[in-house]
């Protein structure tokens, strides 16, 4: 197969591992800089051009779309969909996952457990918003934040009001979320590929003072055995958002596991090094099975 990997940088660990895994299974893998793609949008024969040439035919594409280029990246993926290329994660699912509020609303509709979350626009409703989220301490999150950036823990009502007023005053979209104290700065990253959790790791904050467990914030990772409930929840959450490949983040609370985020472009480095699992290989294997199934359906064999 010919596989395209949409990525800004060839030397990123995740990109390198996907190329390596594809080649080890006998496939061709090209790294395409998403922002260097440009599109001919037509009803007759839509195409994508790259560095002066029309892109060759690809059987599948693996989107590695960074948060800062979601709009343009989703447009490129959408164009590939129009050209009949199998996309590991489609454009709609990617944009759903990037909109944290929308994704939580979708999960809520399906009864998936999550921390109590509040969202408001008016400064006049701050006191009730804090109360709605269970009071302080609580977590305030940028809707556009990634890797733990734009996530603040506030421990008093006065501090909460000041932070919320400041962000809303700057026209920053935020949500307030219940703080799960019993998680003790830890969460579980479940890496979903298709209908399986192929690897899981515990992420622990670097110190008692730091509640964010993100590896980019200095968190530590280790392999963990997840429960059947957590496994089922992670797979359901990915499918509700529409993702075939996802990093689903769960916190363990006194009332059971709770989803805090579903990531459309989860990194491979932390989870592969923590677990020793060939996650990149699992993604390529999923592509093989999915494209074969599509061919069988097209020829009436499925």
**pLDDT tens, 99-142?**
989 999 999 999 999 999 998 877 778 888 888 888 899 999 88
**Lowest mean per-residue pLDDT among 20-24, 67-71, 97-101, 170-174:** 170-174
Quick check: helix, strand or coil at residue 160?
helix
**Lowest mean per-residue pLDDT among 154-168, 183-197, 258-272:** 154-168
Residue 143 has a pLDDT of 79
Residue 22 sits at the vertex; the CA angle it makes with 19 and 25, to the nearest 5 degrees, is 145
Residue 193 has a pLDDT of 98
Angle, nearest 10°, between helix axes 91-98 and 228-241? 110
Residue 190 has a pLDDT of 98
Residue 213 has a pLDDT of 53
CA 112 – CA 152 distance, rounded (Å): 24
* pTM of the predicted structure, to 2 decimals: 0.90
217 is written with which tokens? Answer: 């914030």
Residue 145 has a pLDDT of 54
**How do the domains of the chain map onto residue ranges?**
2-95, 117-179, 183-283
Homologous superfamily, domain 183-283? ATP-grasp fold, B domain (3.30.470.20)
24 is written with which tokens? Answer: 């080890």
CA 166 – CA 104 distance, rounded (Å): 24
What tens digit of pLDDT does each residue of 200-218 get? 999 987 765 555 555 555 5
Answer whether CATH 3.40.50.20 is correct for domain 2-95: yes
**Lowest mean per-residue pLDDT among 88-97, 246-255, 263-272, 288-297:** 288-297
Mean pLDDT of 68-93: 96
Homologous superfamily, domain 117-179? ATP-grasp fold, A domain (3.30.1490.20)
What tens digit of pLDDT does each residue of 32-59 get? 999 999 999 987 889 999 999 998 789 9
pLDDT at 278 over 70: yes
């Amino acid at each position: 197969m010919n596989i395209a990997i949409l990525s800004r940088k060839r030397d990123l660990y995740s990109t390198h591992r996907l190329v390596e895994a594809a080649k080890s299974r006998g496939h061709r893998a090209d790294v395409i800089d998403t922002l260097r793609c440009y599109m001919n949008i037509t009803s007759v024969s839509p195409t994508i051009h790259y560095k002066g040439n029309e892109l060759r035919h690809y059987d599948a594409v693996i989107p590695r779309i960074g948060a800062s280029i979601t709009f343009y990246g989703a447009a490129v993926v959408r164009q590939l969909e129009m050209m009949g290329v199998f996309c590991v994660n489609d454009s709609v699912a990617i944009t759903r996952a990037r909109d944290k509020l929308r994704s939580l609303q979708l999960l809520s509709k399906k009864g998936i457990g999550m921390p109590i979350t509040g969202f408001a626009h008016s400064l006049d409703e701050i006191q009730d918003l804090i109360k709605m989220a269970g009071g302080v301490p609580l977590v305030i999150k940028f809707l556009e934040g990634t890797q733990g950036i734009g996530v603040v823990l506030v421990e008093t009502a006065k501090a909460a009001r000041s932070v919320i007023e400041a962000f809303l005053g700057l026209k920053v979209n935020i949500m307030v979320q219940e703080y799960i104290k019993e998680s003790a700065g830890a969460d579980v990253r479940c890496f979903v590929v298709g209908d399986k959790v192929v690897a899981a790791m515990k992420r622990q904050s670097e110190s008692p003072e730091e509640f964010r467990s993100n590896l980019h914030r200095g968190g530590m990772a280790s392999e963990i055995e997840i429960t059947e409930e957590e496994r089922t929840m992670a797979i359901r959450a990915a499918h509700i958002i529409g993702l075939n490949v996802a990093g689903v983040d769960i916190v363990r609370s006194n009332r059971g596991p709770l989803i805090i985020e579903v990531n459309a472009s989860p990194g491979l480095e932390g989870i592969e090094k923590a677990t020793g699992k060939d996650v990149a290989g699992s993604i390529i294997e999923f592509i093989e099975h999915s494209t074969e199934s599509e061919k069988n359906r097209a020829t009436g064999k499925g």
